[in-house]
Chain A
Amino acid sequence: MEIDVLKKVPVSEQDPKVRAANFDEVNLGYTKEEAMLEATRCLNCKNARCISGCPVNINIPAFIAKVKDGDVKGAYEVISQSSALPAVCGRVCPQETQCEAQCIRGIKGEAVSIGRLERFVADSAKEMGIKPQLPSDMVKKNKKVAIIGAGPSGLTCAGDLAKLGYDVTIFEALHKAGGVLVYGIPEFRLPKEKVVAKEVENVKALGVKIVTDAVIGRALTIDDLFEKEGFSAVFVGSGAGLPRFMNIPGEQSLGVFSANEYLTRSNLMGAFSEDSRTPIMRAKKAVIVGGGNVAMDAARTAKRLGAEVHVVYRRSEAELPARAEEVHHAKEEGIIFDLLTNPVEILADENGWVTGCKCIRMELGEPDASGRRSPVEVPGSEFTIDCDAVIMSLGTSPNPLIKTTTAGLETNKRGGIIVNESEMTTREGVFAGGDAVTGAATVILAMGAGKSAAKGIDEYLSKKG
């Protein structure tokens, strides 16, 4: 195979027209030959900057060197030292702002395709039956740690604590473990049975117990976990599931959904399938409001369910927060981007069914607190997009249930739990990480927090004795 050392080895993808009508994975991953070839592009830098670009500091040059030699097992072992969910991260990490942003190859040409290589290693290891192992020198500590939430931060924290010898139980409110991996990210980006379920099994293989249908804050409080269930420390990884609405007129009409609801129906409940017993609205024309990864997920799901889709975003393309590959894929699939546009009212017929979304044009003014230029309405520029569904994808905030049922747990203005450098909250023995602390962010940042918290919990419990 020929290689242009300045360009990534291309990866096979489903044709856009075909994939816009199915829920199969879009990105088909590298073959072994393609992966080994891509691995030759890595310069194996002495002071590899990519490692610090990774929120969990995977030794990237080391695993890529193993891939170059065709040693999948060796590569997997390198990655496993830092990451519990490589099959997930290789698929959903915004590598273009993390590891690949630091890659030296990326200065003159394209960065090394670190994400695709990580995915290749994880998928191949799975096919070969290779699983994460408990360290052979691990000593059981006979202390119980409770994890709240089986999402990326909880699963990671649990895995690391199990490897340190702790007796770990994860309490998950939903009926399936995975958090956003199972309810938020669609099947065509992250397959549930093929990938997520297997990653969860890997965590259980380390001895971690997962109890589903357990809503901490209701069935058991954090006080109960300490006083009645014998746990010595608690990690809160309850995520940021509370959806935001615009509070514009017409938002209660039939056909207006939060992206959370729409995606939970499609992803967690499998409503995208014709055989599903959970209903989902199959719109003919859908307007998605927002520009992040969740908006892209909702847009591409609506497309696959048969809609003509418009993404309405108040800033311009350069400010879209979504992962570059998702925006690119969305455009290829025929999704229309109405940028510098904001909804002002949702129109409905006499029975309450959505008939259109009245919008106004925006222009960019001065930067706001986040550093992004503030969108300002252009007076008199209102127009209506005909549609039968509007999906609000405006971001989410931390679910307040834990905070309201736990004494001594302080949160900031946005509802995020306050933690110190060891990820401990203002309540002794209670740690937190992921979206529950930062507000909605990424899988990999949640994992980084889970790792850091596991270390913090280990230090705390070792000192306590």
Chain B
Amino acid sequence: MFEIVAKKQLGTNVWYMEVVAPLVAGKAMPGQFLIVRVDNEGERIPLTVCDYDREKGIVTIVFATVGAETERMSRLNVGDCFADVVGPLGRPSDLTEMPIEELKKKKILFIAGGVGTAPVYNQLKWLHENGVEVDCIQGARTKDLLILEDEMKSVTKNLYFATDDGSYGIHGNVCVALQQLWDEDVRYDHCVVIGPVIMMKFACQLTKKLGIHTIISMNTIMVDGTGMCGACRLLVGGQVKFACVDGPEFDGWEVDFDQAMQRSRLYKTEEGRLLLKLHEGDTHHGGCGVCS
């Protein structure tokens, strides 16, 4: 049922897919996420929503291959089907609940890191369709890792690129880019940062210093995604919150990023093993001694 109708490679390890998922596409709003399973033995994988077509019942996902499951996903082709696609999950972005006239008065900046560009695109598109013009800093380590450039340009008022190695746009990370804009007297009163946790941590440190209210989107370990297990729990303002039902968006100044990064390491060894098993196939013999 959850058929893949389009597939593109956006970067070395980054994939784009359009999947038939009517229940998700029918209601998905910016800020929400979904969960997929590759096949009947697959893990439940949470992913952000890059785009949706309500009429056709299609959702667009963008993912990086970071482990065995995403590696398997990347090997699916047009015509193949996911075993499960469930959503939309999580709370929609606060921006979607504000009156449009109020949004138009705000000076909003989005900061997108790596694959976080996909959910940022979703929010920018919605704002653009509602006549709200916003700016964006899109960052990556190098030019090849900048994705969806044309799509992003079509929905952003001012789009700034930042690469760590200087191969495109501003030479530096997104914080360097933001500081540069600030030094040129560019001002914002609302910021949304979506990307790797460490990037969100440093971006929020900067926005706190500059006094720009900031929202981030957490990408934690998840199992059910409906509030049932607590695997996705994090500390926000010292209180325990579940990313899947209280989030995934939270106040960036209140999130304990260090703890979130620590919690994300829980299964690194197991995941490493599974990825190795997948790559090595029949020749996997565990000779490294880790399993035994």
Among residues of A, the one whose C-beta sits closest to the C-beta of B261 is: A352
- Tell me how far the C-beta of A331 lies from the nearest C-beta in chain B, rounded to whole angstroms: 28
| Stretch from B119-127, B201-209, B221-229 forming part of the interface with A | B221-229
Are A279 and B44 closer than 8 Å at their CB atoms? no
Whether A252 and B259, one on each chain, are in contact in the complex, defined by CB atoms closer than 8 angstroms, is yes
Q: How many A-B residue pairs have CB under 8 A?
A: 111
| Majority secondary structure of chain A interface residues (helix, strand, loop or mixed) | loop
Q: Which residue of B lies closest to A221 (CB)?
A: B27
| CA A214 to CA B85, docked complex, whole Å | 9
The listed residue (B84, B88, B245) touching A212 by CB distance below 8 A is B84
Q: Range of interface residues on chain B?
A: 35 or more
Of B83, B228, B233, chain A has the most CB atoms within 10 Å of the CB of B228
B233 and chain A: residue at smallest CB distance: A252
* Contact A254 to B228, CB < 8 A, known contacts A220-B27, A264-B223, A277-B68: no
Q: Is the CB of A219 within 8 A of B24?
A: yes
User: Scoring A residues 242 to 277 as 1 if CB is less than 8 Å from chain B, else 0, what string do you get?
Assistant: 110101000110110110110011000110000111
Residue of A nearest to B85 (CB): A213
State whether the Cβ of A284 lies closer than 8 Å to any Cβ in chain B. no
CA distance A334 to B89 in the complex (A): 41
| A390 CB to nearest B CB, Å | 13
- Nearest chain-A residue to B267 (Cβ)? A279
Tell whether A65 is near chain B: CB-to-CB under 8 Å. Answer: no
> CA separation between A277 and B44, bound complex, in Å?
10
Q: How far is the CA of A260 from the CA of B244 in the complex (A)?
A: 15
Chain A contacts for B164, CB-based, 8 A: none
* Docked-complex contact B270 and A279, CB < 8 angstroms: yes
B266 CB within 8 Å of chain A: yes
Q: Please tell me if A44 contacts chain B, counting CB pairs below 8 Å.
A: no
Q: Name A204-239 residues within 8 Å CB distance of B.
A: 212-215, 218-220
B240 and A245 within 8 A (CB): yes
Q: Is A174 an interface residue, CB under 8 A from the partner?
A: yes
Contact A260 B229 (CB under 8 A): yes
Contact of B262 among A254, A258, A261, A264 (CB under 8 A): A254
Q: Which residues of B contact A183 (CB under 8 A)?
A: 224, 228
When the two chains form their complex, are residues B233 and A218 in contact, meaning their CB atoms are under 8 A apart? Answer: no
Interface core residue of A252, A254, A257, A276 (most chain B CB under 10 Å): A252
Contacts of B66 in A (CB 8 A): none
Q: Does B245 contact A401, Cβ atoms closer than 8 Å?
A: yes
CB neighbours of A448 from chain B (8 A): none
Selected from A241, A247, A278, the residue in CB contact (under 8 A) with B228 is A241
Shortest CB distance B116–A (Å): 22
Cross-chain contact A213 with B84 (CB below 8 angstroms): yes
Query: Do residues B262 and A215 form an inter-chain contact, with CB atoms below 8 A?
Result: no
Asked whether A277 lies within 8 Å of B43 as measured between CB atoms, the reply is: yes
The residues of A that contact B245 with a CB separation of less than 8 Å are: 401
A422 at the interface (CB under 8 A from B): no
Q: Are B271 and A352 in contact (CB under 8 A)?
A: no
Per the bound structure, the CA–CA distance linking A264 and B224 in Å amounts to 8
B129 at the interface (CB under 8 A from A): no
The answer to whether the Cβ of B145 comes within 8 Å of any Cβ in the partner chain is: no
CB distance from A291 to the nearest CB of B (A): 20
Write the B189-231 contact mask toward A (1 if CB under 8 angstroms, else 0): 0000000000000000000000000000000000110111111
> Do residues B85 and A261 form an inter-chain contact, with CB atoms below 8 A?
no
Is A175 close to B, CB under 8 A?
yes
Chain B residues closer than 8 Å to A247, beta-carbon distance:
240
B27 to chain A: which residues have CB within 8 Å?
A: 218-220
Pairs of residues from A and B, 6 with the lowest C-beta to C-beta distance, nearest first: A261-B229, A241-B228, A219-B23, A213-B86, A279-B270, A279-B267
Q: Which residues of B are at the interface with A, using a C-beta cutoff of 8 A?
A: 23-24, 26-27, 32, 37, 41-44, 68-69, 83-89, 223-224, 226-231, 233-235, 240, 245, 259, 262-263, 265-267, 270-271, 274
18 contacts between A and B (CB under 8 A): A173-B226, A218-B27, A219-B23, A219-B88, A241-B227, A243-B228, A243-B229, A245-B233, A252-B259, A254-B263, A254-B266, A260-B229, A264-B228, A277-B41, A277-B42, A277-B68, A399-B226, A399-B228
Beyond the given pairs A175-B83, A276-B41, 4 more chain A to chain B contacts, judged by CB atoms under 8 angstroms and listed by A's residue number, are A254-B266, A277-B42, A277-B68, A277-B274
